[in-house]
Structure 1
Amino acid sequence: MSSADEDRQGQYASSPCMAHEIAPNYFDPMASDPEQERDVARWRRAERTRLRNARHTLSVEMRRQVGQTLCRNLSDFLDERFDGACGRVLSAYWPIKAEPDLRPLMTQLHEAGCIIALPIVEQKAAPLVFRRWAPGTRMVRGDWNIPVPPPSADRLIPDIVLAPVIGWDPTCYRLGYGGGYFDRTLANLAPRPYCIGVGYQSAELRTIYPQPHDIPLDVIVTEAGIAARRDAHQSGSDR
């Protein structure tokens, strides 16, 4: 593959399709207008499909390089913000659907004294739970056939959460897979953990048209570095 082809593959966040159908002069993020909600839901479904298809076009090698760079950026951010997160509980995630692979960072953090957890869907339409993970953990198949720690693993409450994003916007709102699990979980946790969105730089959107149930993250980290940050928000885990 030529460098020109790689450049084209790495630039896939075009203007949001169908966004023109959500009229700016009536869109209200705090409204509960059924027509507006339908328009936003339809637009989000289209964006999820577009962004997921686009990242699947990236070569295995390109995804590997992005994952390595993202791991370095996340490690640097955790060093700066949380002194490496040593002694803290950090929820990571197992990569699926062409997501950047953070497993090398999970191992690195574990070896440095960070306590790693993975999110689990134990009950549909309920908040996630978190089970402890370490290199060598015997994994079982969870929701969507994602490998997860077994039920015998310790349950933990995270201080820091890494949240995979399909798309993201400059105000740190996350476009996820549509199940609402992360929003439901963040709304249920007190104190709220510090939340780091992780995704591709090219998946930036002008806005996700946030709805009343959407909860912004604290920061978005991509292979380009810190893509967006809500400095005004202070998390309960920042203690």
Structure 2
Amino acid sequence: MADRPDDDLPAGYASPPCFMHELDPAWLGLPAAPEDAQQRRDVARWRKAERQRLIAARMALDPSLRRHWCDRIAAHLDASLGPLDGLTVSGWWPIRAEPDLRTWADTLPDRGASYALPVVAEKGRPLVFRRWRRGDRLEPGVWNIPTPVDGPEVVPDIVLAPIVGFDRACWRLGYGGGYFDRTLAVLPAGRTVVGVGFSLFAIPTIYPQPHDIPMGMIVTEEGRRSEYLNR
């Protein structure tokens, strides 16, 4: 998928110090959206360190356990999303031990739905989505992630976003490139946005910043977690 680079700090979409995630955010005294430049840099550094820690932990998981969790995630997606007839669902091509939903995506045409993959058309700009099904031609895109080249561009009705970490208010910690946030900011209203990941990587807070956009729900192998929304 896109949204993969770790180009954090000021101008972009980044991350803070190492073990803050183990403490109560309120006790730390860090506001959700730091107002001064030093606080923004501290949060950016923490998020980068936390991202690296969580990705390493995910990649260390036993592959058979990940596959089992992916099957459970697929079942919870079906229960959470309901009928998909006539809808376009966007996902991602899995990297770095992300949940692999390709087998689930293969079932969508039989249910009257289509699947799309994101494409980085231009760095620093929103993603575009191209329709894809297994067997369609793929070529290496940015960061060598396979991307469809022949499918038509589509606007998804349901956006599935891979998560590195997430918190109880359904804020998503991504890879630091900001592509998903830019994309969600310009999609037409009414889209369903779902963060997808493993429950092991829930953290107390991601310290959301003004550019962050919360997920409508989080789906893990444990189920749907939209009940944690507190807004």
- Whether these two folds match at TM > 0.5 is yes
What are the within-5 Å matches in structure 2 for residues 41-80 of structure 1?
Answer: 41-79=44-82
Task: Give a deviation string over 1:142-199, Cα, whole Å, max 9, x none.
Answer: 111111111x320001111000000000101000000000001111112252100000
Contact 1:186–1:192 (CA under 8 A) maintained in structure 2: no
Whole-Å separation in 2 of the counterparts to 1:192 and 1:211: 23
Q: How does 1:87-102 map to 2 (within 5 A)?
A: 87-102=86-101
TM-score with structure 2 length normalisation?
Answer: 0.86
Percent of counterpart pairs with the same letter? 46
* Cα deviation, residue 230, structure 1: 6.6
Q: Tell me which amino acid in the other structure corresponds to 1:66.
A: W
**Aligned-residue offset at 1:231:** 6.7
Is the contact made by 1:89 and 1:116 (CA closer than 8 Å) also made in structure 2?
yes
Does the 8 Å CA contact 1:161/1:193 hold for their aligned counterparts?
Answer: yes
Deviations 1:20-60 (A, max 9, x none): 69775643324431111111111111111111111111111
Establish whether residue 28 from structure 1 lines up as the match of residue 27 from structure 2.
no
Q: What's 1:177 paired with?
A: 175
Ranges in structure 2 where 5+ consecutive residues have no aligned partner: 1-17
Confirm or deny: 8 A CA contact 2:85 2:112 kept in the other structure. yes
Which protein has greater RCO, CA pairs closer than 8 Å, 6+ apart?
Answer: 2
Structure 2 Cα separation of the partners of residues 140 and 99 of structure 1: 20
**Partners of 1:129 and 1:192 in 2: CA distance:** 18
Structure-to-structure mapping, 1:68-217, within 5 angstroms: 68-79=71-82, 83=83, 85-150=84-149, 152-217=150-215
State the Cα RMSD in Å. 2.0
8 Å contact from structure 1 (residues 172, 229) kept in 2? no
Contact 2:126 2:183 in 1 (8 A): yes
Q: Distance in 2 between matches of 1:100 and 1:201?
A: 11
Shift of 1:135: 2.2
Q: Distance in 2 between matches of 1:29 and 1:62?
A: 34
One-letter amino acid matched to 2:153: R
CA change 1:59–1:182 in 2 (3 A) is: same
> Judging changes above 3 Å, is the alpha-carbon distance between structure 1 residues 25 and 96 closer, same or farther for their aligned structure 2 residues?
closer
Q: How many residues align?
A: 213
Q: CA distance change for structure 1 residues 31 and 17 in 2, over 3 Å: closer, same or farther?
A: closer
What letter is aligned with 1:17?
Answer: F
Question: In 1, distance between residues paired with 2:109 and 2:68?
Answer: 22
The residue type equivalent to 2:62 in the other structure is S
Over 3 Å off, 4+ runs: 18-26, 228-233
